[in-house]
Chain A
Amino acid sequence: MEDRTILSVENLSKAFGKFYAIKDVTLQVPKGEITALIGPNGAGKTTFYNVVTGKYKPTTGRIVFEGREITGLPPHKTARLGLGRSFQITNIFLENTVEENILAALVAYHGRGLSLFRGLNAYRDLKEEAHEILEMLGLADRAREVAKNLAYGDKRLVEIGIAMAGHPKLIMLDEPTAGMTPEETDRMVAMIQGLFQETGITFFLTEHDMKVVFSIAHRILVLHQGSLLAQGSPEEIRNNPRVREAYLGGSLDA
């Protein structure tokens, strides 16, 4: 069981002053599955992301990634260990081209960032890899477009592409369908499923849209007021009375 776990979080808390955004959370993320973290607004999901990926230092607790303790490591170190992340708000390099968005992540992953005297164009291998990623995302024909000119849904795909380009072992998506139209949401869900099947990367995501969660997650964790309320298969979560109560009934039936 132990080596099937990619991320293990033990008694994790994060306090801002006296307020605990997450409190004593213990959970495991199994390797090779899609795990979803759900919870009402303000449940602490984004804080959880920020603590695990190193943006914030936890107040207490341990984080172990691939058998290695990463508690308190800064983002650039957790990223290099294979922890990829996308953001709830569109967080890409807007004035750069779509290709450059992906290339930046590839440059970082392949350790070429301190190459000062060779033109970027000489790195054919990186360009090819960027092209493959864009092809996978269906954005190959937009490669030379400045990212800010993309439609919202495409920007969100670039966001995923940047995370994928880091060759993550675990990819943590923070509300990948936030603000999307139903069509864009469907495309994103298909994209995540496709990437999962193609690459076998472990996915971890938060999501508001319960239809999305129940259609793609193998396992669901429920966060409520900073604490873990429940965890289990989609079926178990759907039938859990405490979860139903936290969500005031309705929205889980989607």
Chain B
Amino acid sequence: MVRGARTIALAAGILFLFVYPRFAGAFPVLLLTEIVIFALFALSFNLLFGYTGLLSFGHAAFFGLGGYAMALLVQHYQLSMIPALAVSMLVAGLGAAIIGFFCIRRDEIYFAMLTLGFGMMVFTLVHQWRSLTGGSDGITGFEVPLLDLVVKKFSLFSPWAFYYFALVVCLLFTLFLWRITHSPFGLILRSMRENAERVSFIGIDIKFYRWIAFTLAGLVAGVAGGLFAMYDRMASPTMVHWTMSAKPVLMAILGGTRVFLGPALGALIFYLLEHFITQYTQSWMIFLGAILVPIVIFFPQGVLGTLISWGRRLKGREDHGG
């Protein structure tokens, strides 16, 4: 029953994502593009947080690395969309492998502090290295590259074209993350979240596994960052700022960290709230805070996590009540 409801909701959601923009104006499509990209960013963060038990405050470093790599590749080397995105992903993954090598040496608050520290270093580097990154101006003035599918080339200039491209990429990488979390590797990650020490006593080198998870999370964040730079027509230091690292944390907690799609729903809620609240006031963060606090206190499983456990309870009642 719950599973059936979930399948229907999922199918409806995907159908909506594909059909609705065909009938929507440019603004909602742009908003939806940003939501889809941030959903992937938040999901990649949650591979570390919800699944491995590591709270990163520096995940924007890889989002930004992907974004800057993408902008530079497009501007200087005129790569087409897919190769540029692939290289950006690898750059972010390499960055994550290097930074992760140091961060995974500690866990809990120490891990969080290490990621925050490295995140700040990456931000400073991006901000100061003007000749490469354009400093606080960022990198702008490039054209969105063509999508070269060998048999045909597509322009991704229009918001609709870019949306569908971003949607497909994000869905593919969501599937990639889903696969990982449901593999034997994913079980080891979840076991580490529960009890890392015990995992080492079943013969697992926890640092190595954490490092792999960190690198994979960075890799996917790089894809999201690459897409975002193309969407925004710029790579700017805000992409690597620590406030950007806070976004996936908020989204994941809002939506639910223990449910695979929780962070994606969190991204949706985050943007819808931002969109509606900023119509009335500039200080929307106050309202976000006011919404976040009761969620954390009363619904620590997040919106999706809470909905699913309600569904389960309802089902239990049906089963018992006849």
Cβ contact of B184, chosen from A55, A75, A91, A123, cutoff 8 A: A123
Cβ contact of A118, chosen from B183, B194, B204, B205, cutoff 8 A: B183
- Complex contact B191–A100 (CB within 8 A): yes
Stretch at the interface among A56-64, A106-114, A203-211, A221-229: A106-114
Note all chain A residues with C-beta closer than 8 A to B198: 87, 91-93, 162
- Cα–Cα, bound, A36→B130 (Å): 68
Note all chain A residues with C-beta closer than 8 A to B182: 119-121
Note all chain B residues with C-beta closer than 8 A to A76: 200-201, 203-206
- Complex contact B202–A114 (CB within 8 A): no
- Complex contact A104–B183 (CB within 8 A): no
* 1/0 contact string of B132-143 vs chain A (CB within 8 Å): 000000000000
Closest to B258 in A: A95
- Cα–Cα, bound, A107→B180 (Å): 14
Chain A interface size band reads: 35 or more
Q: Does B310 contact A (CB under 8 A)?
A: no
Cβ contact of B187, chosen from A77, A79, A85, A107, cutoff 8 A: A107
- Cα–Cα, bound, A140→B110 (Å): 39
Closest to B178 in A: A119
Q: Does A53 contact B (CB under 8 A)?
A: yes
Q: Does B185 contact A (CB under 8 A)?
A: yes
Given A91-B197, A96-B191, residue A108 in contact with residue B202 (CB < 8 A): yes
Q: Does B87 contact A (CB under 8 A)?
A: no
Most A Cβ at <10 Å: residue of B193, B194, B198, B203: B203
- Cα–Cα, bound, A223→B182 (Å): 45
Cβ contact of A96, chosen from B183, B190, B206, cutoff 8 A: B190
Cβ contact of A119, chosen from B183, B201, B205, cutoff 8 A: B183
- Cα–Cα, bound, A79→B183 (Å): 22
Q: Does B147 contact A (CB under 8 A)?
A: no
Note all chain A residues with C-beta closer than 8 A to B212: 114
Closest to B182 in A: A119
Query: Which residues of A are in contact with B by a Cβ distance under 8 Å?
Result: 53, 55, 74-77, 79-80, 85, 87, 91-96, 100-101, 103-105, 107-109, 112-121, 123, 126, 162, 165-166
Other A-B pairs beyond A101-B191, A120-B186, 19, CB < 8 Å: A74-B200, A75-B200, A77-B203, A91-B197, A91-B198, A93-B198, A94-B194, A96-B190, A104-B188, A104-B199, A108-B199, A108-B204, A113-B204, A116-B179, A116-B180, A116-B186, A118-B183, A120-B184, A126-B184
Please list 14 pairs of residues, one from A and one from B, whose beta carbons are closer than 8 Å in the complex, sorted by A's number.
A53-B201, A79-B202, A85-B201, A93-B195, A96-B187, A100-B187, A100-B190, A101-B191, A103-B187, A104-B187, A108-B188, A117-B180, A117-B183, A120-B187
